[in-house]
């Protein structure tokens, strides 16, 4: 999957809403080896939408999470967000933009 993504192949999609994942640059203090990951930034995604309630109910926190994929390993998981705009400044342009 990582080779396909890096060579301009089909971009993976979110398994929760089928939106194209966007390249997102990792923060400088990150412990990941890659420069970027793939993240779902669809505000209508059920995973993201449901995260607000889940975090409030289970942790009493006003936060959610977005689906994230490591393009090198293919591993997936949540990336925490504290607002709908959180992390958006790190979205990298698509290769075709």
The per-residue pLDDT for range 20-59, each reduced to its tens digit, is 999 999 988 888 888 999 999 999 999 999 999 999 999 9
Beta 76-81 vs 36-39: how paired, if at all? unpaired
pLDDT-based confidence at residue 68 (cuts at 50, 70, 90): very high
Mean local confidence (pLDDT), 2-14: 63
Give yes or no for a contact between 78 and 68, defined as CB atoms under 8 angstroms apart. yes
For the chain, the structural domain boundaries read: 2-90
The tokens of 17 are what? Answer: 């809403």
pLDDT at 9: 62
Q: What is the pTM of this model?
A: 0.85
């Amino acid at each position: 999957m990582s080779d396909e993504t890096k060579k301009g192949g089909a971009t993976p999609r979110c398994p929760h809403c089928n939106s194209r994942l966007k390249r997102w640059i990792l923060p400088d203090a990150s412990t990941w080896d890659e420069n970027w990951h793939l993240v779902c930034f669809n505000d209508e995604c059920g995973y993201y939408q449901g995260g607000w309630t889940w975090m409030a109910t289970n942790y009493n926190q006003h936060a959610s999470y977005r689906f994230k994929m490591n393009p090198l390993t293919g591993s997936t998981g949540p990336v925490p967000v504290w607002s709908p705009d959180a992390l958006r400044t790190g979205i990298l342009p698509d290769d075709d933009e």
